[in-house]
Amino acid sequence: MDRRTFLKTAAASSAVVAFARTALAADRYFPTQVNQALFEGINRVKDPAMKTGLEKSHAPVLTAPASVKAGEPFNVEISVGETLHPMLPTHWIEFIELRIGNEPAGMADLQANGYVKPKVAFTVVIPKEAAPSGKVTLLGRQHCNLHGLWEGSLDIAVS
């Protein structure tokens, strides 16, 4: 094999190896069998009138007054699921987050040692300028180690 042929072969081999590595990197392996589609984006309830079992136990449920006054504190409670999600050593909620619209407002990290349930309360104050239309959307997000990222929302009026 002459030098030119060797270099061409070596370059082609490198390209094949690089492609194979890229293809392998696209695969993800979990020690517990999971539905990988749940880890490809944010999961939400598809039809509120017909929630699936997974949606009932994973979609964050937000509770807050329907109407609040700008500049005055109020409570927003976020529970993970209509039926509270388990907090087991192998299956638990890692965090619960509150967003005011698209702005992160707070986050609670949870541990799977059995001390806490996946339900938190935040005390929130919304300034007048944050709700120019008189409404604001509260977003609750949570991450389950086996079922991915989930989001629920609640619109409230701000006067």
Count of C-beta atoms within a 10 Å radius of residue 119: 19
Count of positions on this chain that bind Fe ion (CB under 5 A): 3
Task: Choose between 119 and 147: whose C-beta lies nearer to Fe ion.
Answer: 147
Check residue 158 for interaction with Fe ion (CB under 5 A).
no
Strands 119-124 and 74-80: antiparallel
Task: Choose between 79 and 131: whose C-beta lies nearer to Fe ion.
Answer: 79
Q: Residues 66-101, buried b or exposed e (16+ Cβ, 10 A)? A: eebeeeeebebebbbbeeebbbeeeebbeebbbbbe
Interactions with Fe ion, residue window 98-157 (CB under 5 A): 144, 146-147
- E strand residue ranges, the chain: 42-43, 60-63, 67-68, 74-80, 93-100, 103-109, 119-124, 135-144, 148-158
Minimum distance, C-beta of residue 17 to Fe ion, in the bound complex (Å): 38
Minimum distance, C-beta of residue 146 to Fe ion, in the bound complex (Å): 5
Minimum distance, C-beta of residue 114 to Fe ion, in the bound complex (Å): 16
Task: Choose between 131 and 148: whose C-beta lies nearer to Fe ion.
Answer: 148
Binding site for Fe ion (CB under 5 A): 144, 146-147
